[in-house]
Amino acid sequence: MVKHFPEVQAASRSWIVAADEHGLRTNVLADLLDQHVPPGDLLVEVHRKLGDCLPRRQAVDFVAAHIGKGNIRITDRAFRGFLVVAAHRVATGLSAVPEHRPTA
């Protein structure tokens, strides 16, 4: 995660409320995942000692269980799409920028 997860410039991102007084808004998180992270298993990190590789549905449940305990980072195994659920319960997503490859 440290090596491949991009730095998120918080002030330049659009954030959405991911949790309210009832807990995680699972539909909001699921929509963000669908928009930014390709299908497949997800790497989820709450902090450096708490994380897992989970199927999408279990990842949403994992985030719900740990929301507010840290800035949760979520990505696919190939690091192509990214989500951050901040400790103060807002979330943002971004997709990896394709590498520039010179043409021959």
Whether residue 1 lies inside any domain: the answer is: no
* pLDDT tens digits, 33-63: 999 999 999 999 999 999 999 999 999 999 9
Whether residue 64 lies inside any domain: the answer is: yes
Say what the pTM is. 0.87
Whether residue 85 lies inside any domain: the answer is: yes
Q: How many CA atoms lie within 13 A of 74 on its CB side?
A: 35
Q: What is the DSSP letter of 5?
A: S
57 sits in which H/E element? helix 56-66
pLDDT exceeds 60 at position 14: yes
74 backbone dihedrals φ, ψ, rounded to 5°:
-130, 135
Whether residue 104 lies inside any domain: the answer is: no
Type of residue numbered 80: R
pLDDT-derived band at 99, boundaries 50, 70, 90: very low
23 sits in which H/E element? strand 23-24
Whether residue 57 lies inside any domain: the answer is: yes
Whether residue 80 lies inside any domain: the answer is: yes
Whether residue 2 lies inside any domain: the answer is: no
Whether residue 6 lies inside any domain: the answer is: no
For residue 33, what are the domain limits?
13-94
Number of domains in the chain: 1
Judge whether 36 and 76 are in contact, CB under 8 Å. no
